[in-house]
């Protein structure tokens, strides 16, 4: 028996993304106000914006998601841990951390696994949630499967497809990315433990996108088009 999807269900799937490098404090504040207005899951912010988000979201049911080693994942484990601890101290309730992509592609799985374990232990110890960003556009299916297995082993709360900034150089010299593809989402759901949730980020821009990825087992999305998605849901009669 399927459970009817409500407006609240849709809203609480959304991490409202405020991560573009050009965003000013005024724009981030406006984004946090929008996140509060629509009662989404979290406002997803850069680490320095946590105090601003905390002030605006105080008293609401909207969490604060901070990104770490964003968008390329190249910081040392020591620096990632320091950034995680600083974000948690500042008030983040969820952490989205990017894996060391070069280590993944190079097959240094012991490094990758130990880094995820250390970070997850800290996040869980602070009663927060960790999402591990794979950046699937750079990876082969075999890499994604192994990452799912590692995150399941360490009981990570979420695995996440993309940063939204993982641009891959094409043969014509242009840079582009696919983000959350149906193939990758199905692959992640298949190879993660049932209790590990999936976050889709990159290319989820409409209500139909949200409903489609939900059908693939996604429980959270990263979105900049939050207002358009919610307004479309209202127009379709979701309550």
CATH number at residue 48: 3.20.20.70
Residue 1 lies in a domain: no
Residue 174 lies in a domain: yes
Q: Residue written as tokens 């993944």? A: 104
Residue 149 lies in a domain: yes
Q: Which residues contact 88 (CB under 8 A, 6 or more apart)?
A: 95, 122, 123, 126, 128
Residue 125 lies in a domain: yes
Residue 202 lies in a domain: yes
| pTM of the model as a whole | 0.95
Residue 103 lies in a domain: yes
Q: Please give the tally of structural domains in the chain.
A: 1
Residue 169: domain span: 7-235
CB neighbours (10 Å) of residue 55? 11
pLDDT tens sequence for the chain (239 residues): 456 799 999 999 999 999 999 999 999 999 999 999 999 999 999 999 999 999 999 999 999 999 999 999 999 999 999 999 999 999 999 999 999 999 999 999 999 999 999 999 999 999 999 999 999 999 999 999 999 999 999 999 999 999 988 877 777 877 777 889 999 999 999 999 999 999 999 889 999 999 999 999 999 999 999 999 999 999 999 99
Residues 57, 29: Cα–Cα separation, whole Å: 10
37: enclosing H helix or E strand: helix 25-37
CB neighbours (10 Å) of residue 236? 9
- Which pair of structure tokens corresponds to residue 200? 């889709």
* Cβ atoms of 128 and 162 closer than 8 Å: no
Q: State residue 237 phi and psi, 5-degree precision.
A: 95, 10
Residue 66 lies in a domain: yes
CA 16-20-26 angle, to 5 degrees, is 75
Residue 141 lies in a domain: yes
Catalytic residues: 96, 160, 199
């Amino acid at each position: 028996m399927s459970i009817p999807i409500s407006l609240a269900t849709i809203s609480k799937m959304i991490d409202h993304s405020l991560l573009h490098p050009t965003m000013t404090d005024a724009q981030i504040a406006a984004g946090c106000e929008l996140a509060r207005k629509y009662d989404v899951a979290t406002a997803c912010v850069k680490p320095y914006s946590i105090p601003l988000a905390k002030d605006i979201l105080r008293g609401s049911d909207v969490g604060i998601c901070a990104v770490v080693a964003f968008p390329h994942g190249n910081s040392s484990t020591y620096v990632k841990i320091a950034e995680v601890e600083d974000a948690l101290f500042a008030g983040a309730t969820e952490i989205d951390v990017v894996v060391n992509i070069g280590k993944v592609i190079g097959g240094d799985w012991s490094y990758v696994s130990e880094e995820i374990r250390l970070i997850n232990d800290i996040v869980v110890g602070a009663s927060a949630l960790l999402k591990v960003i794979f950046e699937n556009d750079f990876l082969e299916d075999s890499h994604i499967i192994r990452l799912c297995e590692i995150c399941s082993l360490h009981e990570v709360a979420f695995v996440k497809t993309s940063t939204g900034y993982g641009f891959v150089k094409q043969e014509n010299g242009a840079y582009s990315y696919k983000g959350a593809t149906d193939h990758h989402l199905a692959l992640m759901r298949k190879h993660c433990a049932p209790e590990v949730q999936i976050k889709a980020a990159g290319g989820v821009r409409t209500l139909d996108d949200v409903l489609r990825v939900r059908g693939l087992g996604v429980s959270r999305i990263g979105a900049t088009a939050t207002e358009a998605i919610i307004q479309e849901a209202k127009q379709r009669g979701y309550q």
